[in-house]
């Protein structure tokens, strides 16, 4: 919108001194040369960090695992997510089937902990979510903390709420491609409200 205003001459990005007829100068931000909108846009552009114009708004997928729902931690975990600047744009409480859990964690199917992981995910309800924000994947992974709560940083979800490596409260996507697949497994496009 700002470039459109500037291109059509409805606002001026800077308002310097200019000569009037007769040789006298008009002071900066004179209403005869600059609109109030132009002055506001100039001030905004000067005071706004350049990184805001290059924001990487993305979406990531989150699961609040059965150990979290069993202990009624949904609100506490959501508060940490929102305090980190992420928006919850889709959320629902579901009971995973064995087939859904096996599909979801199929990347780990050859690992020795696969059966235990699937069993833990179907042991109770989960809350599946789509989170949105600047660099959402990295931001959420930082907020989650290390998989092992003993190694997680203070203030992270896992440090504060996880019981063990196996009951570590939350899952989060690790890459944009993974996030897209995980989101599509649990949400239709019209269920995501940004």
The tens digit of pLDDT for each residue in 46-73 reads 444 444 555 679 999 999 999 999 999 9
Task: Spell out a b/e string for 139-155, using b for 16 or more CB atoms within 10 Å of the CB, else e.
Answer: bbbebbbbeebeebeee
Task: Assign 126 to helix, strand or coil.
Answer: strand
The pLDDT-based confidence of 177 (bands split at 50, 70, 90) is very high
Nearest to 66 by CA among 115, 117, 126, 148: 126
Instruction: Report the range of poorest mean pLDDT among 29-43, 66-80, 127-141, 152-166.
Output: 29-43
- The H or E element containing residue 88 is strand 87-94
171 is catalytic: yes
Please, what is the Cα angle at 76 between 72 and 82, to 5 degrees?
140
Q: Both tokens of residue 28?
A: 């900066």
Per the residue annotation, which of 73, 171, 179, 187 is the catalytic one? 171
Q: What percent of the chain has pLDDT over 70?
A: 72
The mean pLDDT value for 5-23 works out to 45
- 82 contacts 73 by C-beta, under 8 angstroms: no
Task: Quickly tell me which residue has 């729902």 as its tokens.
Answer: 69
Among positive and negative, which fits the CA dihedral 96, 85, 51, 41?
positive
Q: Can you read off the two tokens belonging to residue 41?
A: 């846009």
Contact 114, 105 (CB under 8 A): yes
Specify the residue for token string 């009037």: 20
d(CA 27, CA 34): 11
pTM of the model: 0.72
């Amino acid at each position: 919108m700002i470039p459109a205003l500037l291109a059509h001459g409805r606002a001026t990005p800077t308002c310097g001194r200019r000569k009037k007829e007769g040789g006298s100068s008009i002071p900066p931000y004179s209403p005869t040369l600059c609109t109030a909108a132009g002055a506001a846009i100039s001030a905004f552009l000067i005071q706004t960090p350049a990184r805001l114009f290059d924001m990487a708004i993305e979406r990531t997928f989150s699961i609040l695992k059965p150990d979290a729902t069993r202990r009624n931690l949904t609100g506490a975990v959501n508060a940490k997510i929102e305090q980190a600047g992420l928006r919850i744009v889709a959320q629902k409480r579901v009971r995973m089937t064995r087939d859904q859990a096996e599909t979801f964690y199929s990347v780990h199917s050859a690992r020795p902990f696969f059966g235990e992981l699937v069993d833990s995910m179907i042991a109770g309800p989960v809350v599946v979510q789509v989170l949105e924000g600047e660099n959402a994947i990295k931001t959420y992974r930082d907020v989650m903390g290390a998989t092992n709560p003993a190694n997680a940083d203070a203030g992270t979800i896992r440090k504060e709420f996880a019981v063990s490596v196996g009951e570590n409260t939350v899952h989060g996507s690790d890459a944009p491609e993974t996030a897209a697949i995980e989101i599509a497994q649990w949400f239709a496009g019209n269920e995501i409200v940004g």
